[in-house]
Chains A and B, each alone.
Chain A
Amino acid sequence: MAEIALHTLSNGLRVALQPDPAIPQVGIALYYDIGSRNESPGTSGFAHLFEHMMFQGSEHVSKGDHFKLVYAWGGDLNGTTSQDRTNYYESLPSNQLGLGLWLEADRMRSLAVNEENFENQRQTVMEERRQRVDNSPYGEAFVRIGEISYANWAYAHPVIGSWEDLENASFDQVQAFHSTWYRPDNAVLAIAGDLDLDEAMDLVHSLFGAIPSGGERPVPDLHEPSRTVTRRESIVDPLAQLPALFVNHQAPNYGDPDFYTYEVIETLLFRGPSCRLYRRMVVDEAIAVQVSGGYEAHRGPSLFGLFGIGSQGGDLNRMEEVYLEELDRLCREPVHEDELDKVLNQLRTGRIFGQESVLNRALALGRSVLYHNDPYWEESYLERVARVTPADVLQVAQRDLQSERVVLAVEPGE
């Protein structure tokens, strides 16, 4: 296994470091334990809107300079928000590790924004919503399938937020949000690449060490009742040219021991040109032009599902039938060892190629610590997935994938 160092600063910041001198680059990933699941009704989309505010200025970095300073060294950067967390990341030449850490530390300790910046980013996020949801085929359907797949609002509402809540979001909430959630004891800093462990930790101490930790933070209610009835809906999408089908089953979360079995099931059904659903739906029966989906694992309630785009005039009932037949097959027939070997090879290749980028490594390391409190979680992934047996697949499929489901049909039209 690769060398990984994990430290916890006195203010609670967890720091994970993974040296790799292959190229003179470093990846920096800073995860905050705040996602859309922490929002409350009436504030949907605020965690993501706040992510935009983190690029609007801090005590020593003016609006726009975060981009300029990183790009000026050939670096790259961004931030993303999901239900489970918000992250910020940079890739930089390794001699600029200090710059990346200084930028992150400055905006953790001090957000310097104003109402004008807030309005600018509210408008930007509204454009993002138009682009990703309102003007995009199946965009509304992706929002709707989330809403009907969960009973718990924390995961049911879209990360981007509703129009009404975005319009009602107030600048007054910004500083309070920062001082509640953007504290070192609510964050994980991961660095991978061409670094010296001692020098990197000295930098981290000097830049993050004096940032005060936060107080109590509200804990989201993650309870999701078991689904007892199958729910069906259909919607008409004027931007879609082809019909589409979503089918979701409830599934265990990231930390569940069956996580790895789900990874195998996802690969069997959805990954690679020989996967079961692609061969049946797209190649053999030609009822779909595209099938995707799989395991949507979260830190809270999670899903296993299908998103298929049907052929012109395609029969969505037949798509659902084929999907359920393939789930049923998983419940009846043990997976042959050859097919399991194939799945392991696919997962192995994906994981190893994923390590080419030091930024990917930093992101995986940060996620491992935040979600699992285990810096070696990512490193042990392949070993754990290799332990999955045909009996495990049978048992999990019989337990979870014959249960009640949510079905959303999307028809093109006015």
Chain B
Amino acid sequence: MSAFPAEPPVGGDPRPWDFPPMATKTLSCGLRVAAIRMSALPIVQVRWSFKGGRRDEPPHAIGAGRLLQSVMRHGTQAYESAALAGALDQVGARLQVSMASDSALVGVSAITTHLDQALHLADEVALRPTLPEGAVERERAKALEVHRHDRMQAESLAGAWLAWRLYGDHPYGRPSTTEAGLASTDRDLLQTMHRSVFDPGHALVIVVGDVDPQAMVAKLEDRYQDLESQLPGNSEILAQDIPPLQPSATLVERPRSQQTAITLGMTATSRRHPDYLPLRLANQVFGGGASSRLFMELRERKSLTYGAYSALDCGLWAGDLTASLSCAGDKTLAAINGLTSEVQRMADGVLDPLDLDHARRYLIGAFPQRASGVAGVAALANAAWLHDLPPDTWSRYQTDVAAVSRKEVVDAAQTWFRPDAAALVVVGAGESLDAVEGPLRDAGIPVERTDLDDARFEGAVSA
């Protein structure tokens, strides 16, 4: 028997892989229809996507989007609530209704033999929900309870404060719900919001799965050719100002906390910005995974946390780069110092070529996995449409990542990692905050100490 090899076996060349091609057509009402074949399994996903979302909530009705996505599940013109639930489950279909700041979606996943029913149910929920009064009241009560629950949770509270520190009163800075916003949302408002967001004039319908793309597009065209848009001529909402990034430390006292939740953030690029891919690579080096600096330094070397990660989230107008962790109260100062020193390293342009090589290979190698399911492919196609990316964005993605230079990554890191202006939010027990308040002030960071009753991040209307 030969000795165990000291090095792993050398792999051959990766098997070529291409993002599956998409057939597409734009109808006269503005609706884009598309189809992608993935025939490995007898399944499909039908997905309606809309260029509108929580940004369309009136400022006094924060939470209307959350409420709308819940109430839409409770009945359509063809099905009352229980009948809709039964129609979905009878064919084993799964319904997804969700709303983000910039987009909304209704998706139905099913086995291919139920494709027609999936199309029908997706249309019903997306375009013809009845938004019954009883469901509005019931879902409002539930949403209020979830809201109160979330307001007590350290991580979600830290996230809500951070969004507000980064974006101020811009829609990206809003929490998903407020008590006042939920209370002031009525059925009329939901109907108005539904009409403006779920309009075919700024929508994409895509079918991904075991289908013939050309035939599917023809079928969709036939199905939707009579739809009309009620949108005004230009439905694009103008970009609102995002305040300049200011350094801040917000310390929120949460009594009886067994851990401190720490999050730090900086505003970053929109998805279409030329720095997007270089910054994506920088984020991967910084905290994008379990081999990244945050995890290795703060967990594996310093035993400060169970996990420390960063995320780059890029919207239509702007993005943000955030890093988060939770730790025992007595480790709070060490964790903040560890986190900020890693931000500083990125800002200083410290970038080992090996780390960059690993990050690059990760993004390239992981891409087929992202596109391995019908939902993943539909999400990628949707993102390209939403952000108006070139049609070959995903087929070029691996090549484009490979082409990003080290200098571009360093430049992007030095531009967007801004320790001098980062917003820090710390939620924990009073004694944990006491231990960090002085050192943060000594470092010249404006510190604000507050508590669970302070909800300024909910905006002026409901404060």
**Which positions in A face B, CB cutoff 8 Å?**
20, 22-25, 59-60, 63-64, 67-77, 91-99, 101-103, 105-106, 109, 119-120, 123-128, 130-131, 134-135, 137, 194, 203, 206-207, 209-210, 238-239, 241-242, 272-275, 279, 282-283, 286, 289, 311-312, 338, 341-342, 345-350, 352-353, 355-358
For the residues of A in contact with B, the DSSP-based class is: helix
- Bound-state CA distance A105–B6 (Å) is 12
User: Which of A130, A206, A286, A347 sits near B141, CB closer than 8 Å?
Assistant: A286
0/1 interface trace, chain B 324-345, chain A, CB 8 Å (1 if under): 0011100000000000000000
B153 engages A24 (CB within 8 Å): no
Given contacts A60-B7, A74-B361, contact A130 B328 (CB under 8 A): yes
Q: Which 7 A-B pairs have the closest CB atoms?
A: A74-B365, A98-B9, A349-B92, A345-B92, A74-B366, A273-B85, A22-B40
CB distance A311 to B145 under 8 Å?
A: yes
Chain B residues, Cβ within 8 Å of A135: 154, 257-259, 326
Q: Could you give 5 example pairs across A and B, Cβ below 8 Å?
A: A99-B8, A127-B304, A135-B259, A273-B73, A353-B43
* Complex CA distance for A67 and B2, rounded to whole angstroms: 27
Would you call the interface of chain B mostly helix, strand, loop, or mixed? mixed
Q: In the complex, which residue of chain B has the Cβ closest to the Cβ of A242?
A: B145
Q: Which residue of A lies closest to B137 (CB)?
A: A286
Task: Decide: A127 and B89 in contact? CB cutoff 8 A.
Answer: no
* Whole-angstrom CA separation of A283 from B141 in the bound complex: 12
Given contacts A76-B366, A239-B152, contact A345 B258 (CB under 8 A): no
A266 → B minimal CB distance (Å): 14
Residues of A within 8 A of B90 (CB): 274, 338, 341-342, 345
In chain B, positions 292-332 with a C-beta closer than 8 Å to chain A are 295-296, 299-301, 303-306, 326-328
Choose among B95, B149, B369 the residue with the greatest number of A CB atoms under 10 Å from its CB. Answer: B369
Beyond the given pairs A75-B365, A101-B9, A127-B326, 11 more chain A to chain B contacts, judged by CB atoms under 8 angstroms and listed by A's residue number, are: A60-B6, A68-B291, A95-B11, A124-B299, A124-B303, A273-B73, A286-B138, A312-B144, A349-B92, A353-B41, A353-B94
The answer on a CB contact under 8 Å between A311 and B257 is: no
- A128 partner residues in chain B, CB cutoff 8 A: 306
Q: Is the CB of A120 within 8 A of B303?
A: yes
Binding site for A on B (CB under 8 A): 1-2, 4-17, 40-43, 73, 81-82, 84-86, 88-95, 109-111, 138, 141-142, 144-146, 148-149, 152-154, 256-259, 289-291, 295-296, 299-301, 303-306, 326-328, 357-358, 361-369, 371-374
- The answer to whether B13 touches A134 (Cβ under 8 A) is no
Q: A134–B258 contact, CB under 8 A?
A: yes
| Contacts A74-B362, A312-B145, A349-B93; A64 near B291 (Cβ below 8 A) | yes
Which residue of A93, A274, A348 is within 8 Å of B82 (Cβ)? A274
Residues of A within 8 Å of B145, CB to CB, are 241-242, 289, 311-312
> Do residues A73 and B373 form an inter-chain contact, with CB atoms below 8 A?
no
Residue of A64, A94, A346 touching B15 (CB-CB under 8 A):
A94
Task: Given A135-B257, A346-B89, decide whether A76 and B11 contact each other with a Cβ distance below 8 A.
Answer: no
> How distant is the Cα of A350 from the Cα of B109 in the complex, in angstroms?
10
How many Å lie between the Cα of A59 and that of B3 in the bound state?
13
